[in-house]
Amino acid sequence: MSFNLNEFLKSLVSLTVSDYLRQLWGDQLWVGLVLDILGVVIISTFCLLIVIFLIWLERKVIARIQQRIGPNRVGGRYGLLQTVADVIKLLIKEDITPMGADRVAYWLAPFLIVMAALIVWAIMPFAPGVIGVDLNIGVFFFLAISSVSVVSLLLAGWGSNNKYALLGAFRSVAQLVSYEVPMILALLVPILLARSMSTVSIVAAQTVPFLLVVPLAALIFFISSLAETGRTPFDLLEAESEIVAGFHVEYGGMKFGMFFLAEFVNTLFMSGFFATVFLGGYRFFGLENLVIGDGWAVGNLIGLVVFFVKMFAVYFVYIWIRGTLPRVRVDQILNYNWKFLVPVSLVLVMVTAVLDKFIPESFSAYARAGAHLTANVLIALVTIEILRAYARRQRRLTGGDSGLAVTAAEDHAHQETAVHHEPAAAH
């Protein structure tokens, strides 16, 4: 097959250049290797470069939430080059290894955390046909690789020879490891509905986005992904006001930059993954399959844009939460996980599995979605009712003080008016 400019441009528009080149060069081993290496480099470079934008975005949005202006000096009115300046500053800092540090662990940790943050992007479907590799165990691959970051946090905390760092590492192990359980259970629900672990099949199965089918699973996944990426309100592994910066307090220069980078890449991945699994990924009312003229598949380009819009919408919610909520205590975090999220997600998986078998095959996708949605709403209502009863009992036992954020004034009023009255804060 010889080179054809028209065909090449078509493959460029439909974002399937690698398929075209594979056809052009033949199906030999070196062709596969070269194209795969190119894919790795493109995905990784994209991840590293977009962090520059993400940090700027986060600072700007948080500043606006807190009624500040944010970076506005370096790089024009909007401070667009602020992060570039920060990167240059980090590059020319002295590279210090603290005395008494476990050198192997200390140096391995920043590498391991970035590697784990990059490799998970292999299974992210950006647009139809645009994916690193469509593994048939995609979701499982993500769960397996993302657990590696726990190891690197422990290595960093242990290797630094610093008490603050060690405390941060302990907390991170307790927290990240705990929240992995509801995350796994919540991800079982979309896998069950799509009957596949491949991310592409999960996107293909979402005639109705899974957010509208199983909103409870989406909520549980979202909360545990907040904890997994160590973001506010679950950022106590690096709580600045308690243990300075936790596990990375002894790191400086670019080694510190690597932890920072991994955190942002991970958060972006989680938003992209949420968009893929619960918001329908690149799907947008069939527009992603649009073909104009003789084979100009512009739909793939539309799919890419749709995916990015969804991903950044979720990312914005992450920033929003960071700008709004305070940090919670370690015992509250663990109780919330083991005594609330895990039981609820266990019930959810069980109910979804049994219910989906009882829905007849003849039902349309919409009827199916409606049945699951009803079940989800019922589970949510029952959960709220149980929590309400529990809070009421707690209040009766402790004489009005529920141990929750009820102020003294509210409490007083509550006792005066009626026993059945519920302060809003108790829910």
Partner 1 sequence: MSQDWQFVALFLILSPIFPAAPVILNHLLGPKKPNPIKQQTYECGIETVGSSWVQFKVQYYVYALVFVIFDVEAVFLFPIAAAYGQLTLFGVFAAALFIFLLADGLAYAWGRGALEWI
- Residues in 369-388 that interact with partner 1 by CB under 8 A: none
- Work out which of 72, 161, 383, 394 binds partner 1, going by CB under 8 A: 161
- Work out which of 24, 48, 219, 373 binds partner 1, going by CB under 8 A: 48
Q: What is the nearest approach in angstroms of partner 1 to the Cβ of residue 2?
A: 25
Q: Are 338 and 354 in contact (CB under 8 A)?
A: no
The residue type found at 189 is V
Q: What is the nearest approach in angstroms of partner 1 to the Cβ of residue 37?
A: 6
Query: Using CB under 8 A, which of the segments 209-217, 320-328, 331-339, 363-371 binds partner 1?
Result: 331-339
Rounded to whole angstroms, how far apart are CA atoms 44 and 21? 21
Q: What is the nearest approach in angstroms of partner 1 to the Cβ of residue 114?
A: 4
403 sits near partner 1 (criterion: CB under 8 A): no
- Work out which of 64, 68, 73, 93 binds partner 1, going by CB under 8 A: 93
Q: What is the nearest approach in angstroms of partner 1 to the Cβ of residue 156?
A: 13
- Work out which of 64, 68, 73, 339 binds partner 1, going by CB under 8 A: 339
Q: Among residues 137 and 384, whose Cβ is nearest to partner 1? A: 137
Q: Are 43 and 121 in contact (CB under 8 A)?
A: yes
CB atoms within 10 A of CB 335: 12
Which of 48, 63, 175 lies closest to 118 in space, CA to CA?
Answer: 48
166 sits near partner 1 (criterion: CB under 8 A): yes
CB atoms within 10 A of CB 241: 6
196 sits near partner 1 (criterion: CB under 8 A): yes
Q: Among residues 203 and 249, whose Cβ is nearest to partner 1? A: 249
Q: Among residues 109 and 302, whose Cβ is nearest to partner 1? A: 109
Backbone angles phi, psi at 127, to 5 degrees: -155, 170
Buried/exposed code over 160-175 (b: 16+ C-beta within 10 A; e: otherwise): bbbebbbbbbbbbbbb
158 sits near partner 1 (criterion: CB under 8 A): yes
In sequence order, the 6+-apart residues with CB closer than 8 A to the CB of 423 are 406, 410, 411, 414
Residue ranges in 277-316 that form contacts with partner 1 under rule CB under 8 A = none
CB atoms within 10 A of CB 53: 13
Query: Using CB under 8 A, which of the segments 54-62, 167-175, 281-289, 415-423 binds partner 1?
Result: 167-175
Query: Using CB under 8 A, which of the segments 177-185, 210-218, 290-298, 397-405 binds partner 1?
Result: 177-185
Query: Using CB under 8 A, which of the segments 166-174, 210-218, 231-239, 403-411 binds partner 1?
Result: 166-174
Backbone angles phi, psi at 296, to 5 degrees: -90, 95
Give the tokens for residue 241. 């006001």
- Work out which of 5, 92, 418, 424 binds partner 1, going by CB under 8 A: 92
Which of 162, 151, 176, 147 lies closest to 251 in space, CA to CA?
Answer: 162
CB atoms within 10 A of CB 331: 8
Rounded to whole angstroms, how far apart are CA atoms 236 and 327? 7
353 sits near partner 1 (criterion: CB under 8 A): yes
Residue ranges in 128-157 that form contacts with partner 1 under rule CB under 8 A = 132-137, 139-141
Query: Which residue's structure tokens are 């305070």?
Result: 326
Q: Are 235 and 327 in contact (CB under 8 A)?
A: yes
Q: Are 352 and 192 in contact (CB under 8 A)?
A: yes
127: helix, strand or coil: strand
393 sits near partner 1 (criterion: CB under 8 A): no
Q: What is the DSSP letter of 289?
A: G
200 sits near partner 1 (criterion: CB under 8 A): no
- Work out which of 70, 71, 110, 128 binds partner 1, going by CB under 8 A: 110
Rounded to whole angstroms, how far apart are CA atoms 225 and 35? 32
Q: What is the nearest approach in angstroms of partner 1 to the Cβ of residue 98?
A: 5
Q: What is the nearest approach in angstroms of partner 1 to the Cβ of residue 391?
A: 18
Q: What is the nearest approach in angstroms of partner 1 to the Cβ of residue 363?
A: 15
Taking residues 22 to 41 in sequence order and writing x for each that binds partner 1 by CB under 8 A, - otherwise, the string is ----------xx--xx-xxx
Q: Count residues contacting partner 1 (CB under 8 A)? A: 84
